[in-house]
Amino acid sequence: MVVQPKVRGFICTTAHPAGCEAAVKQQIDYVKQQGKLDGAKKVLVIGASMGYGLASRISAAFGCGAATLGVIFDKPASGNKTATSGWYNTKAFEKFAAAEGLYAKTVNGDAYSDEVKKEVIDLIKNDLGKVDMVVYSLAAPRRAVGDTVYKSVLKTTGSSYTNKTIDLRNNAISEVTIEPATEEEIEATVKVMGGEDWEAWIDALKVAGALEDNAITVAYSYIGPKITHPMYYEGSIGEAKKDLLKSSRKITENGVKAYISVNKALVTQSSAAIPIVPLYISILYKVMKSKGSHEGCIEQMRRLFGKLYGGEINLDDEGRIRMDDWEMEDDVQAEVQKAWDELDQSNFKQLTDLDGYWKDFYALFGFGIDGVDYDADVDVNV
Ligand code: NAD
């Protein structure tokens, strides 16, 4: 069938198989151009189908020549509904990996569950013996623990916060007020996006003897500028990220070197859902592209792997790797702040790179990728 994008708010309900494949190929080509790394050899990526997790998997496989095992939560096509983009990305990744003789298997299921942990550990024991790197890159709205379902919220803590935002449905600039989360909502957000499940994965792998002695693990975090602090860094999600940092220390104390990498703000399916952040991202893109320092997920992750394997791992005062170093440079942030203060409906096209934002947004679902014939019939059952 001919697949068109169907955008509803900050989500696209269709995905293009050939477009996703071409986008994955572009990331692989980029990593290959950067040259080989003497790094991880057997890598587990939890949250491997999109965004930072997919870029990590590609960096491991095509940068380090690693065997990779991915955990994803995606849907295949059914009837006239396309699969999710993560599904197509994963199929494309597996195809390109196989063509180069690289081991690549994927478990599609709820990474929070004991069943998926067991399935993954059995696969590691059977196929790889042990892994030497675990990437934890989940971005999920909910987590089921027994009969209880915890839902993460994107709210402030303490008091409400009002600032500019963009309505992605009609590009209208308006003010949004984000209400504070309740204690219960903060706890639920920490349950979903904090470090408990990361620790559970590392414990389970260790107990099963599925980790090499020199294994490392990395999880991703975000800090960002002051304008987003009330609803990100100091918000409910920020509480979860602080918990993730605590977990990194516990995991390290228990014998597996655990890193937190603070990554750059980028358009992904998860970040599109956060109020205020998409407007910040579209200004940031404009500023960083003008300075030549803009990166996407793949540039960020290949640079991270370069630091982890062979490069220098500089940690900040809290012990985190700062891949947001270029985003947070003083001159970048000063320009972003100036644009933010001046921005209104009349000038947002000049002050933001909204076209770049939308281009990246559509690309997440395999649309707008160079060289893809979007009028052609494609088989959505990949
Ligand atoms: P994403 O939405 O692009 O990808 C999330 C991945 O998690 C997908 O592969 C999805 O299939 C998987 N997933 C979700 N729920 C799952 C479940 N229950 N079981 C198995 N897999 C599941 O997200 P992203 O933006 O790449 O975020 C990844 C991490 O990077 C998060 O910790 C996020 O906070 C962090 N981060 C993101 C940004 C950003 O701007 N996007 C910046 C810094 C840090």
Extents of the domains making up the chain? 7-363
Pocket test for ligand 1, best of 56, 137, 233, 297 (most atoms within 8 A of CB): 137
What angle, 0 to 180 degrees and rounded to 10, lies between the N-to-C axes of helices 196-207 and 236-253? 20
The pTM (predicted TM-score) of the whole model is 0.98
Give the ligand 1 atom nearest the CA of 241: 34
Give the ligand 1 atom nearest the CA of 142: 18
Strands (E), 62-160: 67-72, 104-108, 131-136, 142-145, 148-151
Confidence (pLDDT) at 8 = 84
Give the ligand 1 atom nearest the CA of 263: 43
Q: Separation of 245 CA from ligand 1 center, angstroms?
A: 16
Q: Separation of 51 CA from ligand 1 center, angstroms?
A: 6
Give me the residue label for tokens 């999600």. Answer: 237
Q: Which of 88, 136, 161, 232 is catalytic?
A: 232
Q: Is 232 a catalytic residue?
A: yes
Confidence (pLDDT) at 254 = 96
What is the end-to-end Cα distance of the chain in Å, rounded?
Answer: 13
Helix locations, the chain, DSSP H? 17-33, 51-58, 64, 85-99, 114-123, 183-193, 196-207, 236-253, 277-291, 297-308, 330-342, 348-351, 354-364
Residues in contact with ligand 1 (CB, 6 Å cut-off): 47-53, 71-74, 86, 110-112, 137-140, 220-222, 263, 265-266, 268-271
Q: C-alpha dihedral over 323, 327, 329, 335, to 10 degrees? A: 180
Longest dimension (CA), the chain: 60
Q: Separation of 376 CA from ligand 1 center, angstroms?
A: 31
Q: For the domain made up of 7-363, give the CATH fold.
A: Rossmann fold (3.40.50)
Exposure of 68 in the CB half-sphere (CA atoms within 13 A):
35
Calculate the alpha carbon distances from 240 to 167, 204, 326 in Å. Answer: 26, 21, 24
| Percentages (nearest 5) of helix, strand, coil residues in the chain | 45, 20, 40
Pocket test for ligand 1, best of 54, 138, 260 (most atoms within 8 A of CB): 138
% of the chain beyond a pLDDT of 70: 100
Regions of the chain with pLDDT less than 50: none
Pocket test for ligand 1, best of 236, 264, 270, 325 (most atoms within 8 A of CB): 270
Contact call for residues 261 and 303 (beta carbons, < 8 A): no
